[in-house]
Amino acid sequence: MYPLRICFVVSSFSVGSAHLRGVQVSNALVRLGIDSQVHSWLEFEEDAALHLSGFDVYLFVKEWNHDIALKIKNDTNCKVVLDILDNYLLHDRLIRRDSKYELIDALIVSNTHHKIALHCLGFGVTKPIWVIPHHHTNFHCWANNTAKPVQCIGFQGDITNRLPEELEQDLRDFCNSRGMKWRAFYTHTTQESCAHLSPTEINTVIHEQLRSIDIGIIFPPVLPDGITGVDERVWRYLLFKPATRLINFFSHGIPTICYPYVSFLEACVDSGYSLFCCDKKSLFRLLEQLVIDGTQRQLAAEQGMTIASKYSLDRIIPAYYTHLSSLDSARDEDSRL
């Protein structure tokens, strides 16, 4: 069997996932001596023949292009893999079979619940579904100092995960009454303010924001026990989100309170980590305990760092090569028949 050649196919290099699940993973594979490259849809459209001739496996990152996949399947005997990640709209297209599912040789998802959900929808019967967690993006190991008094409590969210104004004001009042700072960061606003930077540089800015936080909060746009009045599409989208934001907090050793969302539970279930809350009352109870109890902060920080270590890029990369090699082995077997 000859060495495996992998092509990561991304919609655009300006998209963050293209770098996280494309460029970063591909570069890590190259460092292991594996022939791996990343190409955009535009490159295929401009000169498809150039790219179609050089690889064994084509891995579409998050976004799916049927025309490119069809060209690959028609003109080569290469395998096509789709890394779904957290794209809810893509799930809809797969469910409706509009994406020509028969072109896909395997699917990648970021957590076990995600795999179970696809199995329930009828996927994974004839084609494999692999679980490859989303790696955290902190490569510098900036560790929070839990020994010092708490100076700042912070929230990180995005366009689909915002704090209600009333709750944020309560959190601000909580901090002000104790002489602490309150900070709320939203990924999409950071990206907008740093539009002149590359996705990798924006990632560094996000982690610099996290470094200023002593206790982290990741709270849902809706509570798990009451989702009325919220667009169902938003809630279902969150069901497929990986635990990356939580793992990024953990990678800094930041004790973080979060809701018991399935990917967070999956990441924490074996560690004993228990800073989960379902309502406002339990959120402030946990905050009060963490502010007062340095020992509890230290334990949560150590547990979080241990969890984050399992999601480091170096730990995740071997899964890509193992799974993709299994497809290539199957192709070799087919060619001998």
- Which CATH number covers residue 320? 3.40.50.2000
Categorize the per-residue pLDDT at 240 as very low, low, confident or very high, splitting at 50, 70 and 90: low
Does 322 lie in the same domain as 289? Answer: no
Per-residue confidence (pLDDT) for residue 321, from 0 to 100? 92
Does 188 lie in the same domain as 122? Answer: no
Does 115 lie in the same domain as 178? Answer: no
Does 181 lie in the same domain as 117? Answer: no
Does 328 lie in the same domain as 302? Answer: no
**Strand order in 79-83's β-sheet?**
35-40, 5-10, 57-61, 79-83, 106-109, 129-131
Does 277 lie in the same domain as 324? Answer: no
Q: How far apart are the first and last CA of the chain?
A: 15
Task: Report pLDDT digits (tens) over 136-148.
Answer: 888 776 677 878 8
Torsion of CA 42, 46, 48, 53, to 10 degrees: -100
Does 231 lie in the same domain as 320? Answer: no
Per-residue confidence (pLDDT) for residue 236, from 0 to 100? 58
| Cα 95 from chain centroid (whole Å) | 22
Determine if residue 181 is left, alpha or beta; phi over 0 gives left, psi from -120 to 50 gives alpha, anything else beta. Answer: beta
Q: Is 143 inside any structural domain?
A: no
Residue 272 phi/psi, 5-degree rounding, is 85, 0
Parent domain of 130: 5-135+313-336
Task: Report pLDDT digits (tens) over 299-332.
Answer: 999 999 999 999 999 999 999 999 999 986 655 5
Q: Is 147 inside any structural domain?
A: no
CB 324 within 8 A of CB 7: no
Task: Report pLDDT digits (tens) over 243-256.
Answer: 888 999 999 999 99
Does 203 lie in the same domain as 299? Answer: yes
Per-residue confidence (pLDDT) for residue 295, from 0 to 100? 94
| Type of residue numbered 63 | E
Does 84 lie in the same domain as 211? Answer: no
Does 215 lie in the same domain as 95? Answer: no
Rounded to two decimals, the pTM is: 0.84
Contacts 24+ apart (CB under 8 A), 49-52: 51/7, 52/76, 52/78
Does 297 lie in the same domain as 224? Answer: yes
Does 164 lie in the same domain as 93? Answer: no
Say how many domains are in the chain. Answer: 2
Q: When comparing pLDDT for 124 and 104, which is higher?
A: 104
Q: How would you label 40-73 residue by residue, b for 16+ Cβ within 10 Å and e otherwise?
A: bbebbeeeeeebbeebbbbbbbbbbbeebbebbb
| Type of residue numbered 275 | L
| Cα 11 from chain centroid (whole Å) | 17
Categorize the per-residue pLDDT at 232 as very low, low, confident or very high, splitting at 50, 70 and 90: low
Q: Is 246 inside any structural domain?
A: yes
Judge whether residue 223 has pLDDT over 50. Answer: no
